[in-house]
Amino acid sequence: MSNFQNIAEKYIRLWNEREPSVRQRLLEEGWVRDATYCDPMARVAGQLDINTLIGNVQSRFPEFTFKLTTAPNGYGEHLRFSWGLGPKGVESIIEGSDVVTLKDNRIESVVGFLDKVPSQN
């Protein structure tokens, strides 16, 4: 398994982890202390705020899980991959792509893009 694949799988595992203390441990293992995350819905910095953001997303979508939808690819300290979010066993309702910057093989920053979002009618 490539290092990029491993990092992307751990990233998805983090977003699916429901226990805040386990998420915090995963953040400490795989992310730098002052990591940043931003997407069209949020902009946060630091492991604690990233943990809180993930908990908030899980509260908003309690029956949904994340999954990788593309193989991660990258070069140097940059990687990208796409993901889906939705109930298990059905097509993803929300889809996105993330660009990750690494520092010493740990996540330093994430810029997320939403590629498919349900209409708000």
- Cα distance from N-terminal residue to C-terminal residue, the chain: 42
Residue 83: which CATH number? Answer: 3.10.450.50
What is the Cα–Cα distance from 58 to 42, expressed in whole angstroms?
14
Q: Report yes or no on 48 lying in a domain.
A: yes
Provide the 8-state DSSP code for 93.
S
| Tens digit of each residue's pLDDT (9 = 90 or more) over 60-113 | 999 999 999 999 999 999 999 999 999 999 999 999 999 999 999 999 999 999
Closest CA to 13 of 60, 58, 67: 67
Residue 2 has pLDDT above 70, yes or no: no
Q: Report yes or no on 121 lying in a domain.
A: no
What is the Cα–Cα distance from 34 to 26, expressed in whole angstroms?
14
pLDDT-based confidence at 119, cuts 50/70/90?
confident
Residue 61 CA to chain centroid, in angstroms? 15
Q: How many CB atoms lie within 10 A of CB 107?
A: 23
Q: Report yes or no on 78 lying in a domain.
A: yes
pTM of the model as a whole: 0.94
Residue 4 CA to chain centroid, in angstroms? 14
Total structural domains in the chain? 1
Instruction: Give start and end residues of each alpha helix (H) in the chain.
Output: 3-16, 20-30, 47-60
